[in-house]
């Protein structure tokens, strides 16, 4: 088989696995609803932060930077996320309530992206790595498989200073700097 065929097959298998994992997570099979609910409660405390996060998730960080009014909460949020090595992970619903340690989560996502996945391994991956699958899927949608792997490698190197923090705590601390008074 050609290398191009194997590469395309790998992308399709990974994409299918991740899509299935996210669908199952969204249906409550893996507890994603709890994180999304906790995140929604946290965001409900500040409508402007909530709006800024929604804009980043629907339009992307760069688009919000370009369109947000200077000095606004949205401009602050987009700027903070663009400067943060983990900023791209905020695109996953529930990330603001993610309890996994940064280093552990990055390691899981990186392993998921780098391994050759077969359909036989899908069930095990989904049970062990539903969270990692959500983050990997978001990165693949934004950057493709090769870009997602490169991003995870950069995140792993750049995030050593807060590797033992949980991801949600890291994001909340970052976003509180933009919170309206």
* Position with higher pLDDT, 162 vs 19: 162
**67 band by pLDDT with thresholds 50, 70 and 90:** very high
For residue range 119-135, what is the model confidence (pLDDT) as tens digits? Answer: 445 445 544 556 777 88
The pLDDT assigned to 155 comes to: 86
Q: Please say whether the dihedral angle defined by the alpha carbons of residues 140, 178, 101 and 45, taken in this order, is positive or negative.
A: negative
How many CA atoms lie within 13 Å of 133's alpha carbon, on the beta-carbon side? 26
Mean of pLDDT values over 26-48 = 77
Say if residue 19's pLDDT is above 50: no
DSSP secondary structure code for residue 2 in this structure: -
The token duo for 83 is 């400067």
Say if residue 29's pLDDT is above 60: no
Name residue, tokens 């699958």: 133
Average model confidence (pLDDT) for the chain? 77
Name residue, tokens 């940064």: 102
Supply angle C-alpha 116, 145, 34, rounded to 5: 90
Mean of pLDDT values over 69-86 = 94
For residue range 78-99, what is the model confidence (pLDDT) as tens digits? Answer: 999 999 989 999 998 999 998 8
**159 band by pLDDT with thresholds 50, 70 and 90:** confident
DSSP assignment of 104-158 equals HHHHHHHHHHHS---GGGHHHHHHH-HHHHHHHHHHHHHHHHHHHHHHHHHHHHH
Instruction: List the single range of 3-12, 78-87, 155-164 with lowest mean pLDDT.
Output: 3-12
The pLDDT assigned to 169 comes to: 92
Among candidate residues 149, 116, 145, 163, the one with its CA nearest the CA of residue 125: 116
């Amino acid at each position: 088989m050609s290398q191009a065929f194997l590469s395309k097959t790998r992308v399709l298998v990974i994409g299918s696995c991740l899509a299935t994992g996210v669908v199952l997570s969204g249906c409550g099979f893996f507890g994603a609803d709890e994180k999304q609910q906790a995140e929604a409660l946290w965001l409900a405390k500040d409508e402007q932060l909530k709006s800024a996060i929604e804009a980043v998730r629907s339009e992307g960080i760069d688009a919000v930077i370009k369109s947000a009014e200077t000095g606004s909460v949205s401009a602050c949020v987009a700027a903070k996320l663009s400067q943060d090595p983990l900023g791209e992970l905020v695109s996953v619903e529930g990330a603001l309530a993610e309890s996994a340690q940064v280093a552990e989560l990055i390691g899981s996502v990186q392993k998921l992206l780098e391994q050759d996945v077969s359909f036989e391994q899908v069930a095990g991956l989904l049970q062990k790595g539903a969270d990692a699958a959500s983050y990997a899927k978001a990165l693949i949608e934004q950057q493709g498989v090769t870009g997602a792997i490169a991003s995870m490698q950069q995140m792993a190197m750049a995030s050593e200073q807060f590797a033992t923090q949980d991801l949600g705590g890291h994001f909340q601390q970052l976003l509180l700097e933009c919170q309206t008074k």
